[in-house]
Chains A and B, each alone.
Chain A
């Protein structure tokens, strides 16, 4: 919960968190080292100086630190775990559903667990998805279309194999498909950041929600163009939001552009913890106002009501969170006690 200047209490759903292990013991090869170094680059380039962690802490911060940063020092009411396996780079994986489940068991009301699938896993993968959905009651998955796998150089979500998985997901009640358009790992000759495949599957699966993480960055322009035509395409703000500190002028223009193309109901807050922590992000966002000239350009405002939707309302709707019940159980009388008590 975040308390606004006017005293209003705001429900926060952090749509994108990780608890990773990139400690030297878990790193398999140079790629694992370079991967966490790159994350650290994002962290140190876009965080306010007082929020920058030493690299050793960044490599593995552990569950207690995470709970403290999200729920005790930070304003999150609920955080959504997005797994990233990367078993080619990390011995036990970078952050997996199984690892995330440990914290979920401890704080069942505070975390939502998302799963993962890879259409290149064929029939076996479909069965595994079914088992995963049943065990963890999944409502969402996180996909990396540019991930390296054997000889494959990534896939498109519009491939027939991916459609089989999306059909399966829909049957299993997995409604929220988070897609990361990542860097090309194998040197493709095509553009691995291309978001055009989302256009096709959003049309063909109108009952699924496609949340494009990082708003399709570095293809925000193409992302806006498809999102305006597809009512079930959403933008996740991770990576975009930290610009509010280092480049507030760019942030103003980008959020205004997103409000213009996607509208206030299809933008989701995500800290991308541990790259950034929710406390400063939410605080800056709540105190942020669009400059006059930017508002004039798009005709869009960023009101308190709109901020509330972005920070929690929209994700709560997608994940079927009973906000009033959660407030009743966890706010005031029991405010922030669940993590502390469970330790």
Chain B
């Protein structure tokens, strides 16, 4: 029998793996989750967003991902995920409660489900995490030609410190999205990356991570302006993005 404190920690850990698809950061770290209430085997999660206008499709993705993440814990019987103050708060809360997909929740406004958005932002996250890992490996002195020849197993065998292990884990989570060959590092289209042009390639994908971080800073500012010091499950720490390494934050 797990006690309530341990169960709350489990729920928080499950939610910590849910990301805002656009910012590629955890909904816990962003300060979106405001409450975890556990009654027996039932879990109620409440969350908030930086504005009333935050895109409903992205909001829906996050809410349903949170529901699924918590429902995946073995002891959980029922989950509710409730969004606070949003233009479409009722439709989102209702649809998520009934486990509907987006098109069912918004029958007249949505033409298709959100798979396209999920894939597009998954690939952006792939590029961002890949850039962080590649720069980390290059800084350790690994030769471009050698890294780019690795398959996933080879990448796993490289000896890394805690930061490197985290970067690698996060990258490999997204690697399947790009498909392609067995190589560990490919472009978003699954193509081989040439070692002669690696610097140009990194230069090109750099804008993806920068955009995500800039948006993250904006969303945190708007969240604080909207809610002030309202409690969240974990206070947002803007400088502690766990895979950031380039000193972008002040």
Contacts and interface: CB of A to CB of B under 8 A. Distances in A.
Contacts of B109: 153, 186-188
Interface string B68-90: 00000000000000000001100
B225 A249 contact: no
A188 B106 CA distance: 9
Interface in A225-262: 225, 239, 243, 246-250, 253-254, 257, 261
B201 interface: no
Main SS of the interface on chain A?
Answer: helix
Contacts of B51: 38, 41, 183
B207 interface: yes
B210 A257 contact: yes
Interface stretch (A78-86, A215-223, A267-275): A215-223
B214 A45 contact: no
B116 A190 contact: yes
A239 B53 CA distance: 17
A191 interface: yes
A212 interface: no
A44 B51 CA distance: 13
A285 interface: no
Contacts of B111: 189
B112 A253 contact: no
Contacts of B106: 187, 189
A250 B213 CA distance: 8
Given A189-B110, A189-B112, A221-B124, A250 B214 contact: yes
A184 interface: yes
B208 A221 contact: yes
Q: How large is the interface on B (under 10, 10 to 19, 20 to 34, 35 or more residues)?
A: 35 or more
Contacts of B116: 189-190
Nearest to A192: B55
Interface stretch (B26-34, B148-156, B215-223): B215-223
A185 B225 CA distance: 21
Given A187-B91, A187-B110, A218-B215, A249 B207 contact: no
A46 interface: yes
Interface in B179-218: 206-208, 210-211, 213-215, 217-218
**Residue among A31, A217, A220, A247 having the largest count of chain B Cβ atoms under 10 Å:** A247
A224 interface: yes
A20 B221 CA distance: 23
A187 B102 CA distance: 9
B245 interface: no
A228 B120 CA distance: 21
A37 interface: yes
A40 B225 contact: yes
B218 A191 contact: no
A296 to B, nearest CB: 12
Nearest to A153: B109
A35 B52 CA distance: 8
Contact of A41 (B102, B211, B226): B226
Nearest to B128: A221
Contacts of A188: 55-57, 109-110
B53 A185 contact: yes
Contacts of A184: 53, 55-57
Contacts of B53: 34-35, 38, 183-185
Given A221-B124, A254-B214, A38 B52 contact: yes
B93 to A, nearest CB: 13
A121 to B, nearest CB: 21
B88 to A, nearest CB: 6
A222 B239 CA distance: 25
A249 B211 contact: no
A220 B213 CA distance: 11
Nearest to B51: A38
A246 B124 CA distance: 26
B114 interface: yes
Contact of A45 (B60, B206, B213, B221): B221
B159 interface: no
Interface string A32-73: 001101101110111000000000000000000000000000
B158 interface: no
Contacts of B113: 189
B250 A249 contact: yes
B102 A189 contact: yes
B225 A41 contact: yes
In the A-B complex, the 7 residue pairs with the smallest Cβ-Cβ separation, listed nearest first, are A187-B56, A45-B221, A221-B211, A41-B225, A34-B52, A45-B225, A184-B55
Interface of B: 22, 50-57, 60, 87-88, 91, 102-103, 106, 109-114, 116-117, 120, 124, 206-208, 210-211, 213-215, 217-218, 221-222, 224-226, 247-250
5 contacts: A46-B221, A184-B53, A186-B56, A188-B55, A191-B117
Interface of A: 31, 34-35, 37-38, 40-42, 44-46, 153, 183-193, 217-221, 224-225, 239, 243, 246-250, 253-254, 257, 261, 293, 297
Given A186-B56, A218-B211, A257-B207, 19 more contacts: A38-B51, A41-B221, A183-B53, A184-B53, A187-B57, A189-B57, A191-B120, A218-B22, A218-B215, A220-B210, A220-B214, A221-B208, A221-B211, A225-B207, A247-B217, A247-B249, A250-B214, A250-B250, A253-B210
